[in-house]
Chains A and B, each alone.
Chain A
Amino acid sequence: KNEVEQSPQNLTAQEGEFITINCSYSVGISALHWLQQHPGGGIVSLFMLSSGKKKHGRLIATINIQEKHSSLHITASHPRDSAVYICAVRVLIKAAGNKLTFGGGTRVLVKP
């Protein structure tokens, strides 16, 4: 079993719909990252969070440390949100430094 599991693997939505992507992890972490990978391959860091909730524009990320679960929400989705969204965790082991362990990604397609 992977240390970081994302669901769903693929998601198709109509423009304007609310989208939720889930990430579950099985190890102790010091932080969780949400990344966005565009079709060309470039990666953008969206959020880094260790507790609670963060919001940036139409994106909202939440984390529940006790349940080892995080969600990424996209409100009023738009075709330009089409991308692969990747969850990554920084494992809570001092020797691990700032290494990230990645989920397999969720491919999101928003249709106009």
Chain B
Amino acid sequence: SQTIHQWPATLVQPVGSPLSLECTVEGTSNPNLYWYRQAAGRGLQLLFYSVGIGQISSEVPQNLSASRPQDRQFILSSKKLLLSDSGFYLCAWSRLWDIQYFGAGTRLSVL
């Protein structure tokens, strides 16, 4: 069976510090991978998606970047966090155009 791991679950970081959130998928190959953010009191927003190793599409201009160094690994990064980067970050995967499966999420507080 397929599983998705996302860590850490909670993170508190000072403004200006770097960020690295990791997501890995097990039990499948060549998945589509996604990073979403949910700001406090707001809906989900797609940040990045990837259809293959090294292939990253960015949906919104922002302070964040994503990388896919391995088939089932998706990393969300920032060189310098802003207060506005606070939120709930979710990783998800899907087989092509199929249903998306979500990780447990990382709650990021930038202080």
- Chain A residues at the B interface, C-beta cutoff of 8 Å: 30-31, 33, 35, 41-45, 48, 86, 88, 90, 97-100, 102-105
Contact = CB atoms under 8 A, between A and B. Distances in A.
Given A97-B51, A100-B44, 19 more contacts: A33-B100, A35-B102, A41-B90, A42-B105, A43-B90, A43-B102, A45-B100, A45-B102, A48-B99, A86-B44, A97-B97, A98-B49, A98-B100, A99-B49, A99-B59, A100-B46, A102-B43, A104-B42, A104-B43
A42 B104 contact: yes
B-side interface size class: 20 to 34
A33 B46 CA distance: 15
Given A30-B97, A33-B100, A45-B99, A102 B105 contact: no
Contacts of A100: 44, 46, 100
B43 A99 contact: no
B79 to A, nearest CB: 26
A41 B49 contact: no
B43 A44 contact: no
Given A33-B99, A42-B105, A45-B102, A102 B45 contact: yes
Interface in B19-57: 32, 38, 42-46, 49, 51, 57
A105 B59 CA distance: 21
Interface of B: 32, 38, 42-46, 49, 51, 57, 59, 88, 90, 92, 94, 96-102, 104-105, 107
Contacts of A105: 43
A86 B94 contact: no
